Structure 1
Amino acid sequence: MASKKPKQIAIYGKGGIGKSTTTSNISAALVEAGHKVMQFGCDPKSDSTNTLRGGEYIPSVLDLLRQNARVDAHEAIFRGFGGVYCVEAGGPQPGVGCAGRGIISAVELLKQQNIFEELDLDYVIYDVLGDVVCGGFAVPVREGIAEHVFTVSSSDFMAIYAANNLFKGIQTYSNKGGALLGGVIANSINTDFHRQIVDDFTRRTQTQVIEYVPRSLTVTQAELQGKTTIEAAPNSEQAETYRRLARRIAEHTESKVPTPLNQQELRDWSAGWADHLIEIERGNQLLAAS
């Protein structure tokens, strides 16, 4: 009897946006709900899965390939919280080679040795650096390895700029069998205007927000312990937010091609919001003075 095909999801986001934090909590929530999950770290820093393993880093696929030309894929797979399977693609030595090569090598290694089928996975979640969508970093999108792509973005301009670039990449590869966009995970959303900025951006690009995740001290405390929020603070409001996000991603079935803004449209859009925020601030100052 053939094993089931896992649902493969790629989560992109610029460096420092909270992408790995979000991804690890999604993985933790899914295994907590009884699913078999692999988290596939695609950042050359190899730090995607450490909060699933008590802060412990694991050898990457490229580390193993540097030591031995032939590697048993099982050597690169480690168990984490709730039994989640953890893999890190890794990258080259600093200043040498292409950082995307680790993703290509790791994906090929696991596919060649039929690891996804052997482990009978429900979900494979790729945690991908989203500042660039070229070379190896584009593999989950370009090759259609992932069925659905989500991006983590805050209301900050550079996070939205990175998300818009990802949308351009998805649009480019969409005619060649590439993965499509499931939506935006709005991170660090603590005020109405944070939410309004992301909502307006998704409306303009014909996408959607999957979940709003607030910035929370609970997340910081958990990560200082080397844990996900799901593990360290399972009864917290933040943990419930991550569980809701995981359910929405698990239930998501229809992704689409986004409509990215061109460079001038993005600049005009952001300038309009800058003016609007100044008006809000002036209004607040007038109210405080009256």
Structure 2
Amino acid sequence: MLAVYGKGGMGKSFFTTNLVSKLALLGNRVMQLGCDPKHDSCNALFGGVSLPTLGDVWRHFKEEGREEALQAQDVIFKTQIMERTTVYGCEIGGPEVGRGCGGRGITFGFDLLEKLGLSQWALDFVVMDFLGDVVCGGFATPLSRSLAEEVIILCGNDRQSLYAANNIASAAKYFASMGGRTRLVGLIVNRDDGSGVAARFAERVNLPVLANLPLDRKVRELADACQLALTEPAFDTIFARLAQQLITRTTPPVDMDAVRPLAYQEFLSIFGAVEPGHVPAGASADELLGGREVRPLPSLTLELRQQAVGAQPDPAMRRVMNRLLNELGLYVTEASHDPKKGMTLTIDGHTTICLGDEVDLESKLAILAALQKSGEPYCYVDLRRPASPFYR
């Protein structure tokens, strides 16, 4: 499995679609996996068709009470490219805009695909098109769970895309140091303007540049029209060379120990910039108020929390909610109690905590506090057995 990462808007879907197509045209069984809530990765591969997303299809099945009946053909689609080669596509999707956590949707999507048999399918390549940066745990899933064997970083010669590339390299190196098996393959410079900035960055970070895709108006128009760039001989040659390297595993070797993500000042120096050696002056509260009178903010009372949760919490749940808010700053937006599972709480609308009962509550709160302090992203925590907690 190969993951393509890079800053949003840099052409990851364009690159992924053409790479998938060339790999397939060279005789491989290939699937493109869109891993972005806006679910438009496979549009060009399918001639402009927007595929139903895995998340939407699963929700439809769940609403009908038959989620266990979901099968691969409900979420994996196929098409013919250049009228002779079959490729497969899937869009994981995510929540509606402003509703829920996109990263959590990605994690759920991979779990569901594995349940459908992803690791057993006779595919030569699964190429994953991933949203932007990897600051969110869900979007770092291929790295954190070693689902991707290899990672390609797409960038341009601009500071913003290279900043994202530096972050991605840093995340990949971190997970490799923790025993992860994913390795970086190198950089693709898209819309190359010939300035050589990305090449300087690659040399400093110690990553190879695998290919340079030139800035080309006609190819951009093809991409906008959901057509393949392989119809242009120069681009077909570039993708053919890269595909052959991936097939024969002859891409330049990358030693993850030797990858050296740049500190901020060193990164700025690539562009001839220098970070000032002082911290800017702070803005006082009086200045920010602009002479206005301070009005006290309403306090978050238990009554407000009850409105968010819905039903009147029982005394045990009330005590837990109070402690979560007062000691850890965790705001319960949903709460339920099951005779067998005990309390299940939703924090800030997206994080689920299976707390169980009040037994050993101190240990459970300590685990949550440690998770917060670690900075490790999580969207689900099971504390019913505090001696062996589980989170993802």
Which of 9, 18, 25 aligns to 2:11? It is 18
Alignment deviations for residues 93-123 of structure 1 (CA, whole Å, 9 cap, x no partner): 11111111232122112211213423x1000
2:121 counterpart of 1:85: no
- Which residue number in structure 2 is paired with residue 244 of structure 1? 241
Alpha-carbon distance between aligned partners in 2 of 1:227 and 1:79, rounded to the nearest angstrom: 16
Taking the aligned partners of 1:236 and 1:54, their CA distance within structure 2 comes to 20
1:175–1:40 distance in 2 versus 1, CA, 3 Å: same
Helix, strand or coil for the counterpart of 2:44? helix
Q: Give, in whole Å, the separation in 1 of the partners of 2:270 and 2:193.
A: 21
Partner of residue 151 from structure 1, selected from 113, 129, 153: 153
Q: Match of 2:188, SS?
A: strand
**1:63 lines up with 2:56 in the alignment:** yes
CA shift, 1:165, in A, is 0.5
Q: Secondary structure at the match of 1:68?
A: helix
Asked if 2 retains the 8 angstrom alpha-carbon contact of 1:38 and 1:124, the reply is yes
Instruction: Tell me whether 1:127 sits opposite 2:124 in the alignment.
Output: no
Q: Could you say what secondary structure the match of 1:66 adopts? A: helix
Once residues 165 and 251 of structure 1 are traced to their aligned partners in structure 2, the CA distance between those partners, rounded to angstroms, is: 29
For residue 36 of structure 1, what is the amino acid of its counterpart?
R
Residues 105-184 of structure 1 aligned to structure 2 (within 5 Å) = 105-118=108-121, 120-178=122-180, 179-184=182-187
Q: Which position in structure 1 is the counterpart of 2:43?
A: 50
Is 2:97 the counterpart of 1:100? no
RMSD of aligned Cα (Å): 1.7
Following the alignment from structure 2 to structure 1, what is the Cα–Cα distance between the partners of residues 200 and 249? 22
Q: Which has the higher contact order (CA 8 A, sep 6+)?
A: 1
Please report how far the alpha carbon of residue 201 of structure 1 lies from its aligned counterpart in structure 2 after TM superposition: 0.5
Per-residue CA distance 1:134-178 (angstroms, 9 max, x = gap): 211000111100011110010000000000010111111112233
The offset of 1:66, in angstroms, is 1.7
Deviations 1:268-287 (A, max 9, x none): 332259xxxxxxxxxxxxxx
The aligned residue for residue 287 of structure 1 is none
Task: Kindly state the Cα deviation for residue 248 of structure 1 after the two structures are TM-superposed.
Answer: 2.4
Provide the TM-score with structure 1 as the length reference: 0.84
* Matching residue's letter, 2:6: G
CA contact (8 A) 1:11 1:125 kept: yes
TM norm structure 2 = 0.63
State the SS of the aligned residue for 1:210.
Answer: strand
Q: Is the 8 A contact 1:143 1:177 kept in 2?
A: no
Q: In 2, distance between residues paired with 1:155 and 1:99? A: 28
Per-residue CA shift, 1:205-264, capped at 9, x if unaligned?
11110111112223223224322222xx1x521222222222223333644322100112
One-letter amino acid matched to 1:218: K
The corresponding residue for 1:227 is: 227
Whole-Å separation in 2 of the counterparts to 1:225 and 1:103: 27
Once the 2 structures are TM-superposed, how far is the Cα of residue 267 of structure 1 from its aligned partner?
Answer: 1.9
Equivalent-residue separation in structure 2 for 1:212 and 1:181 (angstroms) = 17
Tell me if the contact between 2:202 and 2:209 (Cα under 8 Å) persists in the aligned partners. yes
- In structure 1, runs of 5+ residues without a counterpart are 1-7, 274-290
Report the Cα offset of residue 183 of structure 1. 0.3
Number of residue pairs matched by the alignment: 259
Does the 8 A contact of 1:13 with 1:19 survive in 2?
Answer: yes
What is the CA deviation profile of residues 18-72 of structure 1, one whole-angstrom value per residue up to 9, with x for unaligned ones?
A: 1110010000001111100011100111010110101110011111122123222
The 2-side partners of 1:267 and 1:190 are apart by 20
Higher alpha-carbon Rg: 2
Q: 1:256 maps to which residue?
A: 255
Q: CA deviation at 1:265?
A: 1.4
Kindly tell me: are residues 109 and 255 of structure 1, through their superposed partners in 2, closer, same or farther at Cα, counting changes over 3 Å? farther
- In 2, Cα distance between equivalents of 1:267 and 1:224: 33
